[in-house]
Copies of this chain bind each other. A is one copy, B any other.
Amino acid sequence: MTSSTTSIQIQLAARPEGWPAQEDFRTVQIEYGELKPGQVRVENLYLSVDPYMRGRMTDAPSYVAPYALDETLTGGAVGVVVASASDAVPVGAHVLHAFGWRDVAQEDASSFRIVEEIDGIPLSLYLSMLGMTGLTAYVGLTAIAGLQEGDTVFVSGAAGAVGTAVGQIARKLGAARVIGSAGSAEKVELLTARYGFDAAFDYKERPVREQLAEAAPDGIDVYFDNVGGDHLEAALDVLNRGGRAALCGAISTYNDDDKPAGPDNMANIIKRSLRLEGFTVGGYGHLAGEFQPLMAEWLRAGEIAYDETVVDGLGNTVQAFLDMMRGANTGKMVVRLSRS
């Protein structure tokens, strides 16, 4: 069976200032040559769009190198091998890899990791609960925040992909109470009804400070921050003595051109011996080996709820990314491609 050597790919055409827009991207067609020894050709089934990608579109020092202008973007993807010049990665294998933002990828076999389907669990979960998203939640709760049995945990942006993982993993690991914030009444309802949060509130409704204080009358021990800004400030108000904050994202500020003022209650860090630690999952890949079997087991047992917002077609990838930045997704936002 032959397969197409043509690949449609999305490139960064301009560095966004403030909110990204369609004009910052362009679509190009690439012709791959024949496979070289050791290479495989993969048709992508699912592409990941994630908040961290916004950071890489800016040319500023950050935790990962910025995307190059006029080159194809990268990101998590799951695909199926359609041609192979490698014994290790045969045709038909499902693979996880970093060559997203395109329909077809052709690279050395060593860049692809074969994954197994779990009955009833979509392959796309390797981009979310079973992949970077779930690992990010796990690392933040364990290695960074040192979650202990009986802790009260607050997660901001809790209806996002990482947030839903944080709430449920925290409960699995022994948290006594889990509180989440989200940006609509529907999401708030999902958090308590579907994801097992004990309390949740809509941060667009009233000041986060007020709502968090009400939801956490005995304070919180762990804060998992996806949002920054007023959420971090509110958390610093209620973190108990010895509390830990895992700072994972600050989506509230990613598209600000201005430098936002920080929390007005930094003094609490000293008064209550708090610890704030920023992290990115990149440095904790070694924990995947302990995390994935746990999560696979929980998923098999039906103990983890998840949502995906699935957008169809490579041509909608940029819009999916923009919508995700504005919070249009519940759970993980993925782009689904049909086989050619």
A230 to chain B, nearest CB (A): 12
A277 to chain B, nearest CB (A): 4
Interchain Cβ contacts under 8 Å between A and B, 20 examples: A55-B271, A61-B271, A63-B241, A63-B271, A253-B267, A260-B264, A260-B266, A261-B261, A261-B264, A262-B262, A262-B265, A262-B266, A268-B278, A273-B277, A273-B278, A273-B280, A274-B278, A275-B276, A275-B278, A276-B277
Whether, in the assembled complex, A109 has its beta carbon less than 8 Å from a beta carbon of chain B, the answer is: no
Q: Taking chain A's interface residues, is the majority helix, strand, or loop, or is none over half, making it mixed?
A: loop
Within the assembled complex, what's the spacing in Å between the Cα atoms of A265 and B228?
11
Within the assembled complex, what's the spacing in Å between the Cα atoms of A273 and B280?
7
Interface residues on A, range: 35 or more
Whether, in the assembled complex, A272 has its beta carbon less than 8 Å from a beta carbon of chain B, the answer is: yes
* CB atoms of B283 and A278 under 8 A apart: no
Whether, in the assembled complex, A263 has its beta carbon less than 8 Å from a beta carbon of chain B, the answer is: yes
Return chain B residues, CB-CB under 8 Å to A193.
Answer: none
* CB atoms of A272 and B63 under 8 A apart: yes
Whether, in the assembled complex, A114 has its beta carbon less than 8 Å from a beta carbon of chain B, the answer is: no
Whether, in the assembled complex, A306 has its beta carbon less than 8 Å from a beta carbon of chain B, the answer is: no
Within the assembled complex, what's the spacing in Å between the Cα atoms of A53 and B292?
50
Whether, in the assembled complex, A62 has its beta carbon less than 8 Å from a beta carbon of chain B, the answer is: yes
- Interface residues, chain A, with chain B CB atoms under 8 Å away: 55, 61-63, 228, 232-233, 241, 247-250, 253, 259-280, 283
Within the assembled complex, what's the spacing in Å between the Cα atoms of A272 and B60?
12
Return chain B residues, CB-CB under 8 Å to A261.
Answer: 261-262, 264
Besides A63-B272, A276-B277, 12 new A-B residue pairs in contact (Cβ under 8 A), listed by A number: A61-B272, A63-B241, A63-B270, A228-B266, A232-B266, A250-B266, A250-B267, A261-B262, A262-B264, A268-B278, A273-B280, A275-B277
